[in-house]
Structure formats: structure tokens, C-alpha cells
Structure 1
């Protein structure tokens, strides 16, 4: 019997998961990684021999109230949050490789004070502390909404109504939250993250921009004697590690598997002539009947038609500061702090030592901000960025003085964060159709699988799914 063989092109989590699963099924697997690192966003970066995440990077095993399944063949990357049906499987998969612990609840900085976080954590306790005027405005608007609801835009119909796929998030948020809540907690924070309005992306993908969507009845109940209490979202993090700990564990498992061969090189040509034929930059030639693509679509399109120009996706430019601070000088401790106040350049600050329960003498702080938002408020060069971020850490009472900082690095990723707009959706589908017309049998995972379906959870299921599909 001829040995079953597959070739996977990619460096992401789904590529490694697929390779390991196929090898466990008895396949011979070749991974070709044209890039210089592993794990993509989840791999992190290293400064001063300290491992950092590229921003807040948590593991989330929330089921979104969905019935749990381990039938990965039924997973649909085109269905928003479909990975929620597999979170028990995902949690077991992750914990077989690394130890994770629950992260202390994220906090929110609003109007100069720290509150429980309603953006990503479902903590609505802030409503007890708002001013009377704001409470009355929110309550009045929500009473009107609940008396005459727009049923088709109600949050409960997010996965049922096509209007969530065609309406922007502004219309959906206003229909569920009212104007006051929307302007206070949604719109201003949206601009800080993507430097765009909620009118600029499709409502179904609001979590892709880290924005919440609540039932109007849930918010309105916060003004009653017995408010509805939501279950807080639990986030997990590698114990004594960082997100890249999981990527490294996957990579080590792949490297130690004799059925997996890894080549770090680029592809100079790809054709289908009875089988897939790949010419590599290291002069190696590969033939395979089973090709899995785990990179973005555009590098594959360039191999199909070299003169193709990149399509004009809507993307935000993100900057991240990686800061080492003497641990005994840290004043205010939190896992992640989401900063809504527009006077602050940063929109999120994460303390990786708190997340990982590390007792290291240096605390690793990660600060995220939108590059274009920074430019709009006159923070342009590296010196200005450093001064501004240091002053904000002092205002947030994280440190008392910038002399507590041992090292400070800032990296910028221009047009790196996908804005899930109608235009971006159409660009993705146009690219995918080019690929599938040329290679209808190719397996697409990660960023290439479906629009906005490359979360850590999605990638784990996609890797497991493609291995199962090849068994059929």
C-alpha cells in the first residue's frame, strides 16, 4: 500500500495542528514554512530574553451557550463563532500540551476610574456607579427600545437574522443599546482601536473589534432592585508562560514526530499537473496529491498569476509597546485594563506577569494603541511615543516614575488588523474564488479558511478538521 502523504504550507497554529493530527493517523507530512517564525500573532516576540505576547492574547473556552460536540467534520468556518460548539475539545487539546490557569478578571478605565469590564468580560457593575443623569438617559432610551423593539436587529437573533450580515454595527448597537450607552462605551472605544466608526464594519463581526453586544433587556435590568447578573467571561493563560508557550509546544511535538518533515524555505512556483508540483527556493521539488494552505490567500494568488495586485482591504494600523518594569515598583496590578478615555493614547494595557502568575523580578507590560489615532493627536515619532506611554502608565498608577522602567520597545504593524467591513468581506471572497477556480481541491485553513475565522479556537478546530477530511 502506497504511503499517504500531505504537504502543508504555513507557519500558523492550524498548520501545526493539522500536521500532528495527520501524522498521528499514519500520514507522512511535509510542512513548508516560507516565513521566519511560527504561530503568527500567537507566537509572540522576545526582548531582553523576555517572551512577550503581541498584545492581549488569552485563551477562551466559552461555549457561547452552544451544545458541545467533538464532530469536527461538522465545523463550518463561515458560520460566526461556530468554534464555540467545540470549546470542550479545544480546552482538552490545549491542556494536553500546556498548563493554563484562569486569568484575573480584566478591568476597564472609564472617566478616570477603574471599573469592572463590560467590554469583553460581561461585568455590568459599572451601572451602579454612573451619574444620575447618565443612568436616566440610558434607562429612558432602553425603555423605548424594549416597548417597541426592532426584532430583526435584536441581539438574540445575531446568528439567525441576515440583517446582522448586511447592517453595520452602528445600526445594531443603537437598536440594542440606545444612543447614550453606545456613545459612552462603544463608539469612542471603537475609534481608539481601529480609528474608524462603528458604521465602517459589519455587525456580525463586532467581536473582531473587541466590542460587546448586549440584550437591551439585560442593560435595562441593571436599574432594577434585582438586576440580571451575567456570567463573567473566563479567560485562560499559560501558567508561568505566555501565549507562545502553546505554539512552542506544538512546534516541538511536530519536530519530534518522525513522520513530519519541516522545511523553512519559500515557494518559487506551484502548478497542478496530475498532482500539485512545488518548486522551492532551496532547489527542492515537491509533488503531492494533498495540499493544505495555511498562509494568507494573496501569496497563493501570486503563485497562480504573478501580475495580480493586492486588493484594497480595510485594515487598521496597530502599534504595541513591550516594556520591562521592576516588579517591586508596580503599584496597580491587573491582568488587562481596557482604556476607554479618549485622552489616553493606549486602548489596552496587559500585565503578563499577573496573567501567567509569574514572580519574576521584571514585570512584562504590553501596551496597545492605534498608530493613526496616535498621529491624529500629534504623537508621531518614537521619542514622543515613549514619553506619552510612560506618562500614561504613571497616570494609571501602574508606576510612580519612568525610572522604574528597565527597557522599552515599540513595534508598528501598518495595515495589519482586519476591519470586517463589507469591502473587506468582498475582497476576501474575490481572492478565495481565484484560488478555488485554479485549485478546487486545495485545503484552506487559518486566514485562508473563511472571512474572520482565524482565532486560536478556529485554528485548532480547522487543523483537526482537515486531518479528518483527508481520512474520508
Structure 2
């Protein structure tokens, strides 16, 4: 019987496997027939490593020597942004896994013009264009003020559309942000809860900040920085962890599908279709909710649909790119595309062929389902955004088009209630399990949240 049993393929269990292996524990990792690392693993197409859309690294604090970090046991997955309390720990851990480089400032496209990004990078240059109206004043004591979004009960039910128009003003919100939200989320954008705005890469600034920017005064924000790996492929993090895990004699990886999960004498027995039989008292679980419910014979909870995504993974001849961009969010409604990511430009690389992914939302997915050639349309938009001469054959090669139904979760009042009910039922049925990833709720699936979860699980079971 292993010291620790890890079940699933998300990033959390892979982090835990690497940390427990380094501590000399006997570990079994059962990936349920799926590649380890989940979404963060990326793809390998024609021998080329490509991240699936925009995948960036974030750092959360100064090096560990600068101050105390809370105990990992105190991590609160249902509190938005709780990983930031452990920022210095996450920073040091990431730097130990991969070589990191800071990316250029992300940009946005509006009305055919590029600006520094105001959606994710906190660059509010576009607000000082002289054409926008500031929001109405809102006292800091008002529970609807953006400063209260984490703790105020008003944010338990307030939608992003309501909170953003109140804090940003109708003019700023509808011109600079809503077109992007509509492209990304479709009709679901109006139901997204404000507290979860970052799940859709949407900002929620204080009204005082927006007013200062509109009036041309310093808004009091510094640019939010992002990093990538030296190779430009963030999936290197997953591959680095896999290599670490493979180097430990006391870590076994069972890559076959789970066949059954059964309670036996106060412990849990996991059998796999490859013939594995593993027993543990407190397994760490990193599977999806529906998969766990199926294995345990629980009713499958119906989650509200999310936003579907179409992503076209391309190679673009570097010499043909006239208007380079690392990360480009497209607010301009003239485009179906909502984001373009050149992972080589993000890393400061200029190879002969750049790895570029262009993404579009539910409208594109619906058109694709209806039989339209959406890939060609998105490739044409990619060429237009990068200034590639569309008349030259061979400058852009589409390697693969992915369609992911409900890929972007849209937290709503109803979905959070259903999620909490399913979580409670799971804990009742599997009380000893250490849950990770989306088994902990909507706010616990970011890369850094999963790093914290993996480190916490390893510390608990070490």
C-alpha cells in the first residue's frame, strides 16, 4: 500500500506527486487515462509544443526572505484570490521549476487601433483618450463599491454587468469592455457574478481609479505583469514536473483509466483498467466533478452551461508579420476573434515560424456547428491583426482547430448553489479525500490556485 495515493490529471496532483516524491514518500499517481497537467499541458502538433490559447504565468509577491507566508493549511479555496496570500511561496516554487521571462505589455484592439491592455494588465491609457465619461461618485462605504467585492454580501448576487456599470460608468463599460465580454461569453455575459470577473479575464476597477484615468490624472495603478517560460511554452512547467516525478524510484504512475473506487475497511480501494489495485485512507483527488460522481455512484449534478470556445493553432512565418503582438485582446466588434496569442513573441523569440493561437467564443462555435468554415475566417482575421499579406500563400498554416463546449465557466447564483450542493454531497460520500481543482469550486482552478493546493496536499501528507 502506498504512503499517498493521487487520483486525477490536474496540475494540483502533479505538483503534489513531485513534492512528495522529493520528500521520499512512496506515491502512486493514477491519471485516469488522461495526460497529466490537464489544460496547462498544452498540445504537441507536428512536433511543435503549443499552449492552448493565452496561458501566462503570474507572480504574487516578493521573495520568501521578505516576510512571512501563511500556513498552507489555511488556504481557503472558496475565497476568491486566496492564492495571493501565498504569492511569495508560489513565486519561489515557479522559479525553481522553469526559467521565466517577463512578457511584453499585453495590448487591446479598439476601433482599429492598438492600446496597452486595460482588461488584464491594468493599463488605463485608453481611458485618457478624451472621449469618455467618468462614472458617478460612489462612496467607499457603499457595499457595491469594487473595493468590497471579496467580502461584501452585495457581491453574493450582483452581476458583473451591474457592478461594472456602477463602478466604471456606463460609457466606459459599454465602449471598452462589454464588446469583449459579449464575444467571450455570448449571452451568458449578463449573468456572470461580479466577484468572479477574472474567470472571464474582465476587470473591475474602483470608480475613483476610472475617474482619475478619464480625467488624465495618474490612476494609482501599476501595470500588472505577466511571465512566460524562456521557450515561450508554459506547458514546459508540466513536462518539468513529469521529469521530476519519473526520476523518483518511490513514485509509480498508473496512466490507465480508473475502473472503480470502493470503500474497504475504512480505506479506499482504487482499481484501474490496467490491472492496478491501490489502497489509501486519504487519497488526493484531481478529477472532474462528473467523473467523481460517476465513480462513486452519486447523482450527476447539472451544471449551467459555460461559454464555448473555438481555438485555431497556427504557424505564422515570422518574416511576414508586420504588426507583431504577444497577447492581443480584441475588443473591436468588427472581429469575431476575442484574443490572439503569439507565444514566441511573448518570450522575446523570433523564430522562422511563430506559434500563434487565435480564439473566438460562442458565436463562432455556433457557426462552426452549422457547417461554416470558421477556421478560414479566423485565420483571415489573424492575418489582418498581424499585418500578414493574405495574398501570399503559405505564410499562415493552421495546424489544428479545437472546439471546446462550455470551456469557460460562468459562475452565477444558480451555478454556485448547485456547485456547493454537489461539493457537500461529495464530501459526505468521500469524507477522507483531499479535494483539488474544480472539485473545490469555481474559484480554485487557476494555475496558481492549483500550485497552492498541490503544495498544501504534499505538506499535509508528507
Q: Which TM-score bucket, shorter chain as reference?
A: over 0.9
The alignment partner of 2:337 has SS state of coil
Q: Is residue 90 from structure 1 mapped to residue 90 from structure 2 by the alignment?
A: yes
CA contact (8 A) 1:14 1:446 kept: yes
Distance 1:123 1:453 in 2: 26
Structure 1 residue 381, shift from structure 2 partner: 6.2
- Report what 1:100 is aligned to: 100
Structure 1 residue 192, shift from structure 2 partner: 0.5
- Report what 1:111 is aligned to: 111
Distance 1:380 1:433 in 2: 36
Q: Is residue 288 from structure 1 mapped to residue 280 from structure 2 by the alignment?
A: yes
CA contact (8 A) 2:254 2:276 kept: no
Change (3 A) 1:73 1:269: same
Distance 2:189 2:317 in 1: 39
Q: Which moved more, 1:14-23 or 1:203-212?
A: 14-23
- Report what 1:304 is aligned to: 296
Distance 1:375 1:52 in 2: 21
CA contact (8 A) 2:183 2:360 kept: yes
Structure 1 residue 68, shift from structure 2 partner: 6.1
The alignment partner of 2:14 has SS state of helix
Distance 1:63 1:210 in 2: 21
Tell me the C-alpha RMSD between the 2 structures: 2.2
The alignment partner of 2:411 has SS state of coil
Report how many residues are paired.
Answer: 456
Distance 1:121 1:196 in 2: 25
Distance 2:8 2:326 in 1: 31
Structure 1 residue 208, shift from structure 2 partner: 0.3
Distance 1:300 1:380 in 2: 29
Structure 1 residue 430, shift from structure 2 partner: 2.1
**Structure 1 portions without partners, runs of 5+:** none
Change (3 A) 1:189 1:329: same
- Report what 1:58 is aligned to: 56
1:29-428 pair list within 5 angstroms = 29-63=27-61, 69=69, 71-131=71-131, 135=132, 138-139=133-134, 142=135, 144-146=136-138, 151-224=142-215, 226-273=217-264, 274-305=266-297, 308-370=299-361, 372-374=362-364, 384-401=373-390, 403=393, 404-428=395-419
CA contact (8 A) 1:276 1:289 kept: yes
Change (3 A) 1:221 1:241: closer
1:429-469 alpha-carbon deviations (Å, 9 max, x no partner): 22212211111111001121233211110011101111222
The alignment partner of 2:36 has SS state of coil
**Structure 2 portions without partners, runs of 5+:** none
TM-score, normalised relative to structure 1: 0.91
TM-score, normalised relative to structure 2: 0.93
Distance 1:77 1:309 in 2: 22
CA contact (8 A) 1:323 1:407 kept: yes
The alignment partner of 1:251 has SS state of helix
Distance 2:267 2:376 in 1: 57
Structure 1 residue 16, shift from structure 2 partner: 1.1
Distance 1:225 1:268 in 2: 62
1:51-102 alpha-carbon deviations (Å, 9 max, x no partner): 11111000011359x9861521221111110101112111111111110000
Structure 1 residue 127, shift from structure 2 partner: 2.1
Structure 1 residue 391, shift from structure 2 partner: 2.3
Change (3 A) 1:48 1:225: closer
Distance 1:380 1:304 in 2: 34
- The structure 1 segments of at least 4 consecutive aligned residues displaced by more than 6 Å after TM superposition are none
CA contact (8 A) 1:298 1:431 kept: no
The alignment partner of 1:363 has SS state of strand
CA contact (8 A) 1:240 1:357 kept: no
Change (3 A) 1:375 1:353: closer
- Report what 2:19 is aligned to: 21
Change (3 A) 1:182 1:223: closer
Structure 1 residue 254, shift from structure 2 partner: 0.7
Structure 1 residue 383, shift from structure 2 partner: 6.3
Distance 2:21 2:365 in 1: 49
1:149-179 alpha-carbon deviations (Å, 9 max, x no partner): 7711111112221211221112211221111
Q: Is residue 7 from structure 1 mapped to residue 9 from structure 2 by the alignment?
A: no
1:297-327 alpha-carbon deviations (Å, 9 max, x no partner): 2211111116x34413331111100010111
Distance 1:107 1:357 in 2: 15
